[in-house]
């Protein structure tokens, strides 16, 4: 029987083809590095570069091997070629250069490369290593490194600066920095939280609530945002949302001292004094913040609102021992006695400074105390801006005049914003215009009166008045009252400007203003002349209750200083 031959099966090849590419040589180089075979590793990295000459990582790997082998100049040549020709944005090359220069003892060059790395690298991959190299360079060069900023920490540093500005009451400056941070890093929730707080202090409620809501959308349990939102609801009288939020806060038990403090002050501000006092006592028991006089003050305020007067007295006396220079504890101890006797109410504010009425009473006869107080307690500055937006009418008048004593850029911007706020009283805006002119702001001013925005034209610059006297204000108010309903806003503004110009020219030899009505009538007289308005002697005498001789005398004094008659081409003052 014949046997059939089986068909032969095809054999699988025993040789596996090797794909020679950059990845292959990279892996071989890494294996050689693991065995400390630097020559082989360098050879393989060179081959990787040949396959992918435009890949900067391959070049940097080759530069790294050369550095490990002590061939620093060759390493630097490769790194420079990466920066100059392949990928200028590869900032880590400057860190590698700095290391090579340091090993070559070229410390100036190392410093230049390291500074470039820190000021331009966004990721901060070698930030810890760079700190060590900075210490070395500082030692070798015997001087601090010339470093302006660290790019990867730019937002952190900017946020710290913004917080300092917030604490100093410089809200507009803080807002500018915080808004820039949010544009660069939208996920920076702490910056967004503080931005909402800055808006709130500036009286921009809607923007503050929107900003804090954005924080809570990203992190619903953010305690700072929840507390800030509760305060916003409190001051905008949103009882429903506030009550819901308070219930949520009362169920929260923070542990970090900073969070406990935030919770306690927030609950106190919204009237939850019992829970606030409980948290303040927790902080005092832990001892970490027990040396802070403000904490004892806050605890005393809460205790007073709970009618626990003995405990309140103990806290304020402790605050007095801790802060012997502050008038706050002593003031509230005196007030506590009146509260006990039913002659006064418990303090409503959780602020470690004197109430506005008391501050202004002390400053009334000594304006220099305002500047001194601002240096000692920056929070007073922030309370000024808050009161400008949310105080009663009397407080706002006092605040506007006090801001005139500060007279910096932020004050000017705040008062200008006040002028165009449709919710503010027109008379208060006139006071604000007056203060702006008195501190030397002579550019045109936009003012909203009665729902209509007017532009008050720029005025010739006059000397800045160092103070604003209540007697000067009295003359103005007298004139405004006499001109009310007879002169428009622009004409009233010109009267105020004339008064400021007169005072600036004669200061410090300002005449005694015994007859305010006479000066007020003289101001109306010249205002009428400047606007070609008819004014009669009988009309001025009847409305201001002064003689023609007095009005004529004061009108002449104003003209002598300001030269109005010459400008209007008048010969002698005459009434028609």
Q: What pLDDT is recorded for position 32?
A: 66
* CA nearest to 402, candidates 426, 438, 427: 438
Give the list of residues 6+ apart from residue 267 with CB closer than 8 angstroms, or none. Answer: 246, 249, 250, 273, 275, 276, 279
Q: How far is CA 128 from CA 99, 108, 113, 125, 219, in A?
A: 14, 20, 16, 8, 29
Q: What pLDDT is recorded for position 154?
A: 74
Q: What pLDDT is recorded for position 14?
A: 53
Alpha carbons 406 and 412: distance in angstroms, whole number: 9
Element (H, E) at 445: strand 445-449
Give the list of residues 6+ apart from residue 239 with CB closer than 8 angstroms, or none. Answer: none
Q: What pLDDT is recorded for position 267?
A: 93
Q: What pLDDT is recorded for position 1?
A: 40
Cβ contact 316:297 at 8 Å: yes
**Residue carrying the six token digits 């504890």:** 329
Is pTM beyond 0.85 here? no
Cα–chain center distance at 304? 33
Highest mean pLDDT out of 117-126, 267-276, 431-440, 491-500: 267-276
Q: Identify the structural domains of the chain with CATH numbers, from first to last.
A: 22-151 (1.25.40.10), 154-348 (1.25.40.10), 468-576 (1.10.472.10)
Q: What pLDDT is recorded for position 173?
A: 86
Using 50, 70 and 90 to split pLDDT, how confident is the model at 7?
very low
Q: What is the mean pLDDT of residues 17-41?
A: 67
Alpha carbons 379 and 169: distance in angstroms, whole number: 6
Is the bond leading into 34 cis (omega within 30 degrees of zero)?
no
DSSP structural state of residue 425:
-
Q: Which residue has the higher pLDDT, 350 or 191?
A: 191
Residue % of the chain over a pLDDT of 90: 22
Q: What pLDDT is recorded for position 378?
A: 60
Cβ contact 107:140 at 8 Å: yes
Give the list of residues 6+ apart from residue 369 with CB closer than 8 angstroms, or none. Answer: 362, 363
Cβ contact 407:439 at 8 Å: yes
DSSP structural state of residue 509:
S
Q: What is the mean pLDDT of residues 293-310?
A: 94
In sequence order, what DSSP letters do the residues of 448-502 get, joined into one string?
EETTEEEEEPP----PPPS---HHHHHHHHHHHHHHTTTS-HHHHHHHHHHHHHH
DSSP-based three-state secondary structure for 391: coil
pLDDT of 314 > 90? The answer is yes
Tokens of residue 435, six digits: 């203060």
Phi/psi at 426 (5° precision): -60, -40
Q: What is the mean pLDDT of residues 226-249?
A: 88
pLDDT of 275 > 70? The answer is yes
Using 50, 70 and 90 to split pLDDT, how confident is the model at 329?
very high
Give the list of residues 6+ apart from residue 555 with CB closer than 8 angstroms, or none. Answer: 522, 525, 526, 573
Q: What is the mean pLDDT of residues 419-447?
A: 81
In sequence order, what DSSP letters do the residues of 295-331 get, joined into one string?
HHHHHHHHHHHTT-HHHHHHHHHHHHHH-TT-SHHHH
Q: What is the mean pLDDT of residues 202-211?
A: 84
Q: How far is CA 318 from CA 299, 309, 339, in A?
A: 11, 14, 19
């Amino acid at each position: 029987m014949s046997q059939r031959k089986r068909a032969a099966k095809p054999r699988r090849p025993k040789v596996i083809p090797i794909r020679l590419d950059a990845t292959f040589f990279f892996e071989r180089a890494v294996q050689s590095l693991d065995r400390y075979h630097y020559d082989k590793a360098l050879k393989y990295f060179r081959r990787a570069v040949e396959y992918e000459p435009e890949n900067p990582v391959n070049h940097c790997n080759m530069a790294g091997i050369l550095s490990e082998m002590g061939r620093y100049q060759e390493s630097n040549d490769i790194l420079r070629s990466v920066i100059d020709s392949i990928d200028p944005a590869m900032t880590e090359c400057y860190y590698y250069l700095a290391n090579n220069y340091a090993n070559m003892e070229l410390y100036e060059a190392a410093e230049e490369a390291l500074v470039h790395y820190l000021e331009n690298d966004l990721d901060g991959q070698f930030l810890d290593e760079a700190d060590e190299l900075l210490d070395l360079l500082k030692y070798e060069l015997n001087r601090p490194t010339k470093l302006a900023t660290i790019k990867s920490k730019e937002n952190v540093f900017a946020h710290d600066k913004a917080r300092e500005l917030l604490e100093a009451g410089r809200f507009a400056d803080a807002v500018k920095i915080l808004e820039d941070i949010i544009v660069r890093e939208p996920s920076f929730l702490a910056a967004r939280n503080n931005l909402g707080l800055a808006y709130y202090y500036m009286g921009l409620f809607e923007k503050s609530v929107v900003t804090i809501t954005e924080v809570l959308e990203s992190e619903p349990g953010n305690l700072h945002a929840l507390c800030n939102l509760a305060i916003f609801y409190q001051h905008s009288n949103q009882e429903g949302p506030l009550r819901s939020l308070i219930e949520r806060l009362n169920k929260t038990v923070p542990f970090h001292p900073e969070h406990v403090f935030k919770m306690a002050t927030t609950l106190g501000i919204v009237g939850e004094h019992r829970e606030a006092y409980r948290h303040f006592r927790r902080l005092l028991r832990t001892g970490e913040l027990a040396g802070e006089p403000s904490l004892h003050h806050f605890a005393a305020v809460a205790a007073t609102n709970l009618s626990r007067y003995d405990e309140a007295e103990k806290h304020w006396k402790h605050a007095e021992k801790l802060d012997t220079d502050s008038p706050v504890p002593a003031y509230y101890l005196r007030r506590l006695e009146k509260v006990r006797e039913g002659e006064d109410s418990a303090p409503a504010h959780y602020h470690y400074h004197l109430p506005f009425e008391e501050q202004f009473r002390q400053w009334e006869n000594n304006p220099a105390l305002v500047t001194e107080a601002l240096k000692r307690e920056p929070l007073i500055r922030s309370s000024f801006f808050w009161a400008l937006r949310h105080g009663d009418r009397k407080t706002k008048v006092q605040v506007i005049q006090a801001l005139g004593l500060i007279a910096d850029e932020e004050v000017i911007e705040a008062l200008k914003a006040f002028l165009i706020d449709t919710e503010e009283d027109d008379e208060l805006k006139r006071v604000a215009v007056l203060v702006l002119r008195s501190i030397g702001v002579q550019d045109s001013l936009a003012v909203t009166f009665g729902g209509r925005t007017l532009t008050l034209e720029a005025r010739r610059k006059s000397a800045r008045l160092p103070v604003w006297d209540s007697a000067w204000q009295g003359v103005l108010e007298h004139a405004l009252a006499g001109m009310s309903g007879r002169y428009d806003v622009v004409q009233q503004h010109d009267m105020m400007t004339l008064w400021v110009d007169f005072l600036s020219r004669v200061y410090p030899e300002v005449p005694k203003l015994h007859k305010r009505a006479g000066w007020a009538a003289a101001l109306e007289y010249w205002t009428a002349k400047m606007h070609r308005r008819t004014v009669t002697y009988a009309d001025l005498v009847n409305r201001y209750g002064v003689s023609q001789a007095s009005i004529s005398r004061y009108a002449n004094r104003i003209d002598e200083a300001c030269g109005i008659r010459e400008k209007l081409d008048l010969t002698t003052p005459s009434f028609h």
